[in-house]
């Protein structure tokens, strides 16, 4: 079974499309989909999808940050593989099955995806968003191909439950988890991972 966790904060405008991008896939595995948010607005939008997909579960977290919320959620999950994403991320079709295929390989403990901004390169912000995300992907790919340590994209990554049990529930920062996996010769796989779209947030003007 897969546990898919969407962590969100004040994203009522994007959470619906995020959920749709998951439940519209022809997922070959049994799964549960947990939507975690501290705000009622986001959770109310997520609740409207429960009639269409009863496997959706809502979790009102205390608003103390993503890592704190995940520590609470992980204790309640039923899956053998955890897939983590955010409320402003839209997965491409087939991405869940693609992620699970990688876990069939020996010693693969963690899988990551490739974020792609929705903004077009034609304007200044879109140009820099695409430039930086492409650069991050190229760096991850070169490190992966060389067999070196790399960090997953925090927008979409997955790992097996046995790794969580082994490393301890408090190790929820991506960097800490990946360092733990690396020291135990557990592989991170990003081969042939499908792209997924990210709704970018403008946090400042350039120039």
96 exposed, middle or buried (CB, 10 Å; 0-12, 13-18, 19+)? Answer: buried
pLDDT tens, 71-113?
Answer: 899 888 999 999 999 999 999 899 999 999 988 887 777 888 7
Q: Is the pLDDT of residue 49 over 50?
A: yes
Other CB atoms within 10 A of residue 126 CB: 15
* pLDDT score for 160: 83
**153: closest CA among 52, 81, 70, 83?**
83
Q: Is the pLDDT of residue 129 over 70?
A: yes
Please tell me the least confidently modeled range out of 8-17, 39-48, 105-114.
105-114
For residue 205, give Cα distances in angstroms to 124, 189, 198.
9, 35, 19
Superfamily of domain 2-198: Spore Coat Polysaccharide Biosynthesis Protein SpsA; Chain A (3.90.550.10)
pTM (two decimals): 0.78
Averaged confidence pLDDT in the chain = 79
Residue that wins the pLDDT comparison between 88 and 133: 88
**87: closest CA among 195, 3, 14?**
14
- Contact assessment for residue 25 and residue 33, using Cβ atoms and an 8 Å cutoff: no
* pLDDT score for 164: 55
Please tell me the least confidently modeled range out of 57-61, 96-100, 161-165.
161-165
Q: Is the pLDDT of residue 18 over 60?
A: yes
* pLDDT score for 162: 62
Q: What is the distance between the alpha carbons of residues 159 and 40, in angstroms, rounded to a whole number?
A: 29
- Contact assessment for residue 114 and residue 64, using Cβ atoms and an 8 Å cutoff: no
Sequence-distant (6+) residues with CB within 8 A of 24 are: 93
- Contact assessment for residue 105 and residue 99, using Cβ atoms and an 8 Å cutoff: no
Residue 43: which pLDDT band, with cuts at 50, 70 and 90?
Answer: very high
């Amino acid at each position: 079974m897969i546990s898919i966790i969407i962590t969100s904060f004040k994203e009522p405008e994007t959470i619906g499309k995020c959920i749709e991008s998951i439940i519209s896939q022809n997922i070959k595995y049994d799964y549960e989909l947990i939507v975690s948010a501290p705000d009622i607005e986001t959770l109310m939008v997520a609740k409207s999808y429960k009639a269409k997909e009863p496997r959706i579960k809502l979790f009102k977290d205390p608003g103390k940050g993503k890592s704190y919320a995940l520590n609470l959620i992980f204790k309640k999950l039923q899956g053998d593989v955890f897939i983590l994403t955010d409320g402003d991320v839209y997965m491409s079709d087939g991405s869940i099955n693609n992620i699970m295929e990688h876990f069939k390989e020996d010693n693969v403990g963690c899988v990551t995806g490739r974020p792609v901004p929705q903004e077009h390169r034609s304007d200044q912000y879109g140009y820099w968003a695409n430039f930086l995300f492409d650069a991050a992907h190229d760096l991850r790919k070169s490190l992966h191909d060389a067999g070196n340590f790399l960090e997953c994209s925090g927008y979409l990554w997955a790992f097996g439950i046995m790794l969580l049990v082994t490393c301890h529930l408090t190790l929820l920062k991506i960097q800490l988890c990946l360092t733990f996996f690396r020291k135990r010769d557990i592989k991170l796989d990003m081969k042939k991972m499908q792209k997924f779209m990210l709704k970018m947030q403008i946090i400042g003007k350039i120039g």
